[in-house]
Structure 1
């Protein structure tokens, strides 16, 4: 995962240089072709945000498509490339712009209090039923771009290291790795994330999936670093507790 993140940062830096050059030449066709090379990463993020809104009943299926937002992003980046001061800022700039486009269009999501108030009491059959309904009604609605066939871009990587961070917790993570396949853990993590408030969910996704630092996330979210850190800690705690209750406690 760390190698993938570093690769993305290198690609973003190289892309920034070419985008600036094409903009200075007023060559929008070449600008757009260059931008297409990094679009799958953004498209995946938009698709996950839209899937979450569908799952939470905040968005009807078919109301939006990821292309609605990525097409607008082309225009935003071309018109505002001068706002990016150097090659290190393009990555965060893209996510900040697409976040603004999304939040201008989507209904503000409410925290699912009932779900989290009862998270310690759900039995294994209840968890399985929720996961089945989630997979049927909300997850995977949007088909990725053809470029998403690239194995480095085609799905999220929820690594347990982002949830279990102390030495004691890492022992629990090893037990999970030994007893469950990766896809099962990912489905559970996404199910729980989709019921968090927007701030916690987005901060965790930007940190765990996209590899942004707390400072970069604060910039993307127009928040303070302490606010971002608080949201990340809350998200981790909820995810850790839900995983332990569902998969690691014998009573379940």
Structure 2
């Protein structure tokens, strides 16, 4: 995933310079074609947000398409590129604008207290049933865009290193890594993320999937760095607890 993030940063730098040039020449067609090169990352982010809303019953399938949100970016970036001074500002601008569009359209999702309050008591069969229901309801419904590079749409980008970060925790991660493949890790993380509220889940995804810093996320989410760090810590703790309860306790 780190390589993908680095590739995006390089593409963003090249694209930013060309966008500025095309805007000066008032070449709208070339401008849009160039912007399209960096939209797969944004499209994937929108897809994940929509998938989560479907899985949580906050959105009916077919109600929205990721293009409903990403298409607006062509107008927003063209109108504002003169005020965007660097490629990093462009990166943040894209997420900020699409986040605003999403939150104007989606119902705020509440924290699933019932799920986390009962996490100690779920049996293996109950965990498996929840995962199966999640997979049937929303997994990958919106991850389709023929024109864009599908390397940006790889869904297996969560890893145990995103959850278990201290040296002591990495020992637990090694035990899990020995018995779980990448796809199983992805499905479990996504299942648990969908039980969190929107701010917590979004902060985790922006940090892990998109490689953004807590400062950048605070700007995108219009909040403080401290609040972002608290949400990220809480998300990791809930995920760590869920892995331990489901896969490391013999009783489960």
Tell me the TM-score range normalised by the shorter chain. Answer: over 0.9
Q: Number of residues paired by the alignment?
A: 252
> CA 1:164/1:95 → structure 2, altered by over 3 Å: closer, same or farther?
same
**1:242 corresponding residue in structure 2:** 242
Hey, what's the Cα distance between the residues in 1 that align with 2:21 and 2:151? 30
Deviation at 1:133? 0.7
Hey, what's the Cα distance between the residues in 2 that align with 1:224 and 1:88? 19
Deviation readout 1:134-189 (Å, 9 max, x if unpaired)? 11112221142125554354325112111001111101111111101110010010
Deviation readout 1:214-246 (Å, 9 max, x if unpaired)? 100001100100000000000000000001110
Check conservation: 2:119, 2:242, Cα contact below 8 A: yes
**1:218 corresponding residue in structure 2:** 218
Secondary structure in structure 2 of the residue aligned to 1:62: coil
**1:87 corresponding residue in structure 2:** 87
Pairing 1:186–2:186 present: yes
> CA 1:230/1:55 → structure 2, altered by over 3 Å: closer, same or farther?
same
Hey, what's the Cα distance between the residues in 1 that align with 2:9 and 2:56? 32
Secondary structure in structure 2 of the residue aligned to 1:151: helix
Structure 1 gaps, min length 5: none
Hey, what's the Cα distance between the residues in 1 that align with 2:9 and 2:108? 31
Hey, what's the Cα distance between the residues in 1 that align with 2:250 and 2:219? 42
Check conservation: 1:44, 1:144, Cα contact below 8 A: no
Question: Aligned-pair RMSD on alpha carbons?
Answer: 1.2
Structure 2 gaps, min length 5: none
Hey, what's the Cα distance between the residues in 2 that align with 1:222 and 1:189? 26
Hey, what's the Cα distance between the residues in 2 that align with 1:82 and 1:250? 59
TM-score by length of 1: 0.96
Larger displacement relative to structure 2 (8-17 or 85-94): 85-94
Larger displacement relative to structure 2 (95-104 or 79-88): 79-88
**1:36 corresponding residue in structure 2:** 36
Secondary structure in structure 1 of the residue aligned to 2:72: helix
Secondary structure in structure 1 of the residue aligned to 2:87: coil
Hey, what's the Cα distance between the residues in 1 that align with 2:187 and 2:23? 41
**1:56 corresponding residue in structure 2:** 56
Secondary structure in structure 1 of the residue aligned to 2:109: coil
**1:109 corresponding residue in structure 2:** 109
Deviation readout 1:43-102 (Å, 9 max, x if unpaired)? 111010000001111111111000100111111111111231222211111111110110
Larger displacement relative to structure 2 (53-62 or 77-86): 77-86
Pairing 1:24–2:15 present: no
Hey, what's the Cα distance between the residues in 1 that align with 2:96 and 2:113? 28
Hey, what's the Cα distance between the residues in 2 that align with 1:169 and 1:203? 21
